[in-house]
Structures are given as structure tokens and as C-alpha cells.
Chains A and B, each alone.
Chain A
Amino acid sequence: MLHRLPALFAIAVAVLFSAACGKKETPPPAGAKSAAARPGGMAAEQIWKVSNGTEPQDLDPQNVTGVPEHKLMMAFFEGLAAEDPKDLSPVPGLAERWEISADGKVYTFHLRENLKWSDGVPITVDGIIESYQRMLSPKMAAEYAYLIYNFVAGAKDFYEGRITDFAQVGFRKTGERTLQVTLRNATPYLIKIIASHYAWTPVPVHVIKKFGALDQKRTPWTRPGNFVTSGPFRLKEWLPNRRIVAARNPHYWDAQTVKLDEIHFLPTEDVATDERNFRTGQVHMTNTLPAAKIDVYRKENPESLRIDPYLGIYFFRCNVSRPPLNDKRVRRALALAIDRESLVTNVTRGDQIPAYGICYPGTAGYTPRARLQGSLEEAKRLLAEAGFPEGRGMPTIELLYNTSENHRTIAEAIQQMWRRNLGVNISLLNQEWKVYLDMQHSKNFTLQRGGWIADYLDPHVFYEIWETGSGNNDTNWSNAEYDQLLQQALAARNDPERYEIYQKMEAILVDDLPVLPIYYYTSVRAFSPKVKGYYPTLLDNHPYKHIWIEQ
């Protein structure tokens, strides 16, 4: 059971450090295609029905951004590198192997033999390079283009139109099946992005060009009948707002490993409807579970409650140029006066992990040493030193959050903790999602509920956002030493050296507190125990070819 936090931690750590130690599930030999030939243990019908949150914007990996889209991309596309099903470490994907040069700046990918798109057309190096050209072309205006142009030599110049010849960008064909990628700087975690993020996934340019120019946005190439994929599944049916059916792709290089015949993605927006669908057996897995339902499942249906760790942090963002939060002592006093254990046990209830730092403990083998520590007495003393003994004279801080039941209850709980522990009063202001985001990005707030979900499995993901000028910092916090350390981390020769630099950065963050950490997320779902091969992973990515349904 995952009821208690230590158990949760243990699992997270086990998953990270040793894939081999994970709970062994031995699926029957793969390759079974017809129901009659299914070996014992596997259900005759290998159709996995999952709830997927909302209708995807599109199925073009270069045209989408959200989580529901990501879940679909994992069915339809494979990157040069792919993810291990248990710990998500990069494993060979379309490329059977790769080499990284000694200075870390040149990656050479060797494609597998006989790679094919789902229409049987070969996947070529030229096609992959053209695919990156499309991703980086200004007319495509791909929202994740920066995940390439921040790293690859010449890519930013091309994206901003300073050069128009794509041959000057760092993608080079050096053999029939070799692709060489030259980077601006050594980027030690880049291979993790390539493995986990669809921004790097090649698209079938031979199909795309049938429907318009290479860099033309919004063509119908992703419609059923047109859509061509490289991953374990291809598109069988797409009924907008009803369902998307992915069926096995016979041309996938590893088709014999794929166990499911079909995946049905249901775009169920309403969480209550989602949970009712689970109860009628329309889905094997909900997208989430309302906090109020968690205890009901614990009591009545514990085998269907699934709580996995999730690489993300929930925090309150401070605007450090606005009084009273411009005073570090006030920020620290507030941070110390939050009873995180009580919050996760009594309010959020989904086995969330109290956060006393910024980076998730155990991210790719890295656990920060610095930790927010201090007594309530210290908090009171700091507040008095800042000129607000027992909260007297302190202007009322307004906490901004986006309209949602969960955020409201968390905000109210913390409001109460601060009133009781420090005598500090805050007011709550809720705003509709986009208004709230607009206020965040224009820094029109004093204190704001925020969160950060990792795109790839590396501690860097928690540190890059606090760089001066980062589009997601939004705190007005800027620290020259911190920025310098971030650059040093990118130049580090190996992970231990790099992680030591992150330790210093964590210490700065925990000391200066531009954000008040609250808890680390978990993903909470109703989940049918019949679904096997779905392991707890920190990014909530689950390579689908390993999943199967038990009888």
C-alpha cells in the first residue's frame, strides 16, 4: 500500500536507482496477435481504455503543448531515444545507439535498419533533418521550438530568420543511417529531453508535404486516413470530443513487443464524469481523482486507488519587489509557519510529499541537502525583526489563485495557519485561469499560488526557471551568483560535478525563498488492477508497448 509517505519515498527511490529492483511483473511472451493465440494470463481483448482529460489541440507533435497531447504522442511517435518503462532513463528508440563527443557538443545517432513509418515508407536521415527544419521554421511557430533552438548550433539564428539556409544549422547527415547533431554548449541532460519530449520527435515530412508546404501550419495531415506515425500505434479513429482510437502499428520496429491491440483515449473533462465512467467500466484508468473521493476509495475500493509520485512542485510565488515580501525575513517566517504535514494529510489527502526545498528529492539520483528548517519561534522572531511583531502593522497580503476547489481549500488552510501561528492576515483572490496567468506573467500580484511540472527527468528542470529573465520566473527575483552557477552546471563534465553545483543553487533558493515550497505532487487515479506493465514513473510517462491487460 502507498498510504504512508515513507513507503512512497521508498518506491520513488527504488524506481530511480535500480530498475531491476522494481516489482517484477512477468508478462507472457509477446507477439501474440490473435485472441486465440494469447498465452495464459492475458485477457482475450487487449484494449486499454484511458481517460485523457481534454480534447487534444492536434496530433501534430510540432503543433501541440499540453499533457493530454503528450499522452497521445507517446502512442503515435517515437524519438531517436526512448524511455525505459520503469525509470524513464533514455534507451534506444529510432536510433539503436548514439555517441557523445568528449566535449559533449556533438551527438551522433545511428538509426536502426529498416525503420518505417506506419505507411511503410522508410524513415530516413534526410526526412528527420527536414522534420527539424519544419519544427524550427518561423512560419510554423511551434510553441516548443525553444527546446531545440536553445541547444542546437545555429538553430536560434534560423528560427529568428537571421539565416535561411538550414544547412548552417547543426544537423548533419554523416552516413546513410547516421545523424550528427552539433550543440552550442554541452548540455548534459539533452538526451533526457530527446527521450522524453515530443518536441524532438521526427514527423513524416513525406506525408506533410502532400498537404502543403513543409512549414505550413494547420494542414489536414493529422486527420484519420492521412495521419502517419512512427510509434507503436497508428490512428484508427478520431471523433473529436468523443474518442481517439490508436491501433497497433505493424511497421513499428519493435512491433513484437507491443501487447495491446488498441488504446482508446476518452477526452473526459469533468472529473466526476470521469470517475463514473470508471465505475461503469468504460475506462480502466481515470485522468485524476477528486480529493473528496480519495478516502472513499481507500475504504471501499483500495485495489483501484493508484497513487504514484509525480515530478512537480506546488508552491506560493512571491513578488519580491513588493512589500512586505521584499523582505527575506518575512518570506522565511511565512515559509516556516506552514504545517506541510498537516496540509497533505488533512487537505490534499493524496499522499503528496511535504516540500522543504525546490528540487524533488531523488530526481535522477539527485537529492538536495539544503532544507527549509526552523521553529515557529524563529518565524515569530524574524517577523518581529522585520517590523511586524505578532503580525502587527503588516499590510494584508493578497494571495492570488486560479478558481478551483482544490486551490481554494489549500489557500484557506494556509491562511488559517498564518493567522494562528504568526498573527498574519492574508486575503484570497481567485481569478479565472487566463486572467490569473496574465497577472502572473505581468507580475501583478504579491503572493500567488503556482506550480511547476517537469518536462524531463533531470534536476535542471527545477533550477532553470529561476534564472534572471527566465519567462517562468515571474518573481522579480534575480541573483547573479545563482545565474552564474546555472551556467557552470551546463559546462560541468559529469553528473556528480553538476549535481554539486545544483546543491549550491538549492541552498541559495532555500535561503532566499523567491517561492515558498509547499508540497510535491502525486498523480492520483482510479486504476483497474487488471492493467499490467504500467509502472510508477516520475514524469507519469508509461511507454505503452509494455502495457497489457490481465484476464
Chain B
Amino acid sequence: MFRFVTSRLLQSLLALFLVITATFFMIRFVPGGPFTAEKAVTPEILRNLEAHYGLDQPLWRQYLDYLGSLAQGDLGPSFKYPNRTVNEIIADKLPVSAELGALALALALFLGITLGTFAAVRRNTWVDYTASTFGMAGISIPTFVVGPLLVLAFAIHLGWFNASGWYGPTDRVLPVVVLGIAYAAPISRLTRGGMLEVLHQDFIRTARAKGASEFRIITRHALRGGLLPVVSYLGPAAAGILTGSFVIETIFQIPGIGREFVNSAFNRDYTLVLGTVILYAVLIMALNLVVDIVQAWMNPKVRLEA
């Protein structure tokens, strides 16, 4: 276990280094820069701006400088928002996305696992068909359709909520539901598939023969194996959902990190692009590690090997 974790950490560090290097150079080679504007700044002003941000240095030098400050935990200043550092922006916005994501994930897990389990147990009945319809609809109808529809119904016509914003607790409801449904759909399908496989195995039959109740069979015996596909899906999904959804955050005007992720690239805000990419990479690596450990615990067939 210890060897496994250390070796994975080392691998992750190497991958992270590659991600940083690739992103650093790729974003620099995209046409246009942080100060490219419709009203062109004069050459003198551009020179001073570049000098201020160190962009007048050779690229390799900038790269080394960036790695140097990164090693000290400094992600640098934002180009678009001169008043803020990338560290500040992430510290300000990640909690918002994480809150939205955690709530949505909880809803998605509850909805998805419940529906998926019922569908598997009552296979080929109306329960199964309803759950499958939900799953298909949830996967195929994008959030930018579901979101505005819910706003139209619940905010504009019924007047229960604000159309957008992130002020009070009621502002959480609509975005959490929209994002939750989007993730509940694949979870319900994965749960159904996993459960169907497990429910046909010998140890379930043994449990039945011993006279265990259906409820006990599912919760104590079947779910542990049946949820394996969901768990491996959850690693990358959780990283994605916690770092925010560009679409949901834009539709509902939520001050999360998901929008920065996309907008920073449009703005050629080099440091913010790198900051968000590093954040996402670290989260994915960490969550995948957690998933591997959880899977080993859930499935005796999996062994943690370095």
C-alpha cells in the first residue's frame, strides 16, 4: 500500500510537470496575446506592459521563472485582472464551484444509485423503463437546454427563484438540480449495469437460499460489487464537477472557477490558464488515486501494486 501510493505520487508529479510544460508553451503559441485588443495599444505602451509582466524576456527564461515561483506556491498575477493574483482568483472561486459540485454530486449519487438499483432489481418492468428513459434523457438533453427551461418555469413563471445569481440559499436550488440530473443519468445507467451483473452471481443466489431479505441482499451483498463501475466513473467525474461547469456557471451567473477555466483561454490570461489547468490536473490525479484505493477495498480481485 505504501509503495503503491509513493510510486503513484511520483508518477503524478512527472505527469503534472509534463502538463505544465505543454500548457505553458501551447498557450504561448496561440495567436493573439493578453494585450491584443480591438483598439490597439500603441507600441510604446505595449513595450511597457510586456516589461511589467516579464513578457519581454526570452521564452525559456519566462518558463524557468514561472517554475521557480510555482515551486514557492505562487501562480503569478492575472493579466486580465491586474488587481488580483491567480492564487486569489482560485481561492475565491474554487469554493463556489466545489459547493455547487458537492451538492450536485450528492444529488446525482442519491438519484442515480436509487434509480439504477430499482431498475436492475425490477428489470424489464415499467420501473426499469422509467429509469432508463430518465437515464437516456439526462444524458442526451444538454444542460444548456434543461437550465433555461427550469428557469423559465420556476423563476419567470412561478417566481420561486431568481433567474440567476449566487446570493442566498434558494439560488443554489436550480443549478444544483440541473447539474445533479446531468450526472445522475450516467450514474443510474452504470449502477443498473453493475447491479445486473452482480445479481446473477452465485453468492447472491446463496444469500437468497439462506433466506436473506431482498433489502438485505441488495444493500449488504449486491451494492458493494454493483457500484464498482460507478466508482471508477466517479474519479474523473468528481474532478470535473468540483472544478465547475462552464455552462451551468454561465447560465446561472455563478462566480465559480469553471468559467475562468474557459474565459482565461479566450483572454490569453496565460497565468490563469496555467493555474486552472494545474488545479484540474492535481484534482484528477488525486481523485484517481482515491478511486484506485477504494476499488481495491471494494473488490477483492483488485490488488494495489506499484
Contact = CB atoms under 8 A, between A and B. Distances in A.
Given A273-B250, A273-B253, A276-B156, A242 B167 contact: yes
A276 B151 CA distance: 8
A142 B268 contact: no
Contacts of B151: 276
DSSP majority for the A interface? loop
A218 B40 contact: no
Looking at B38, B77, B82, which has the most chain A CB atoms within 10 Å of its CB?
B38
Interface string B38-76: 111111110011011000000000000000000000000
A58 interface: yes
A6 interface: no
B229 interface: no
Interface in B148-196: 148, 151-152, 155-156, 159, 162-167
B163 A141 contact: no
Nearest to A444: B31
Nearest to B80: A57
B8 interface: no
Nearest to A474: B40
Interface residues of B, number: 50
A146 B42 contact: yes
A242 B255 contact: yes
Interface in A12-45: none
A240 B42 contact: no
A276 B45 contact: no
DSSP majority for the B interface? loop
A141 B48 contact: yes
A58 B80 CA distance: 9
Interface stretch (A263-271, A326-334, A342-350): A263-271
Interface in B6-53: 30-33, 35-45, 48-49, 51-52
B197 interface: no
A161 B159 CA distance: 60
A112 interface: no
B297 interface: no
A427 interface: no
A176 interface: no
Interface string B267-279: 1100000000000
Interface string A52-82: 0001011110010100000000000000000
Nearest to A273: B164
A492 interface: no
B201 interface: no
Contacts of B214: none
B45 A146 contact: yes
8 contacts: A58-B81, A239-B255, A242-B166, A269-B259, A434-B268, A435-B30, A435-B32, A438-B31
Give the 9 A-B residue pairs with the shortest CB-CB distance, closest first: A434-B32, A241-B255, A141-B48, A471-B40, A276-B163, A438-B32, A438-B31, A58-B83, A141-B49
